[in-house]
Amino acid sequence: LIVSPGINTRQKILSIREATCSKEDAEKVVELARRAISKSRTAAQELGQMEKVLGIRGKGSPTPGTIAVSFDAAFKKKGQSFFTMGGEERKANRGTVIGKVSAKAQNSRLISCDIQKDGGWGKTVNIC
C-alpha cells in the first residue's frame, strides 16, 4: 500500500500495487517445481511419480522479484508385482493421487515447494 500526497494536502490518494505476474513467469515456476519433484525421493515414496500438471489455481507476486504459483498435479504410484491365476506376472496399480503444489521462485531459483496430499487434509510433503 502506497500513500502519496494529492493536490490538496488534506487529501491523500491511495494506490495499491497489484500482486500479479505473467502467465509465462508462472509456467517457468511450474517447470522448476516439476524438475524438483521429479528429483525428490520423498515425493516418489509418498505420492509416486508426477504424471502431469492439471491446471494452475493461482499465481502472483507477493514481493517484488518473487513469484508464487499454486497448481494441481496428478501423481501415480506403482504397487508390488503379483502373479495372476494363470501364472502371469503383473504390476499392481495404486491409482492416481491429486496433489496441490505450492511453489515460490526468486530470480529463476526455486525457494520453496510443497505438496498437499488430499486437498490439504492429509499429509504435506516438503520438497525444498
DSSP 77-117: EEEEEEE-TTS-EEEEEEEEEEEEEEEEEETTEEEEEEEEE
Average pLDDT over residues 9-37: 78
pTM of the model: 0.74
Task: For residues 84 and 3, give the distance between their C-alpha atoms in angstroms, rounded to a whole number.
Answer: 72
Do 79 and 93 contact (CB within 8 A), yes or no?
A: yes
**Digit-coded pLDDT (tens) for 78-115:** 777 788 888 888 777 777 889 999 999 999 999 999 99
- Asked whether residue 13 carries a pLDDT value surpassing 70, the answer given is no
Q: What is the DSSP letter of 18?
A: -
Residue type present at position 76: K
Res 95: pLDDT: 79
Min mean pLDDT across 1-10, 11-20, 67-76, 114-123 is at 1-10
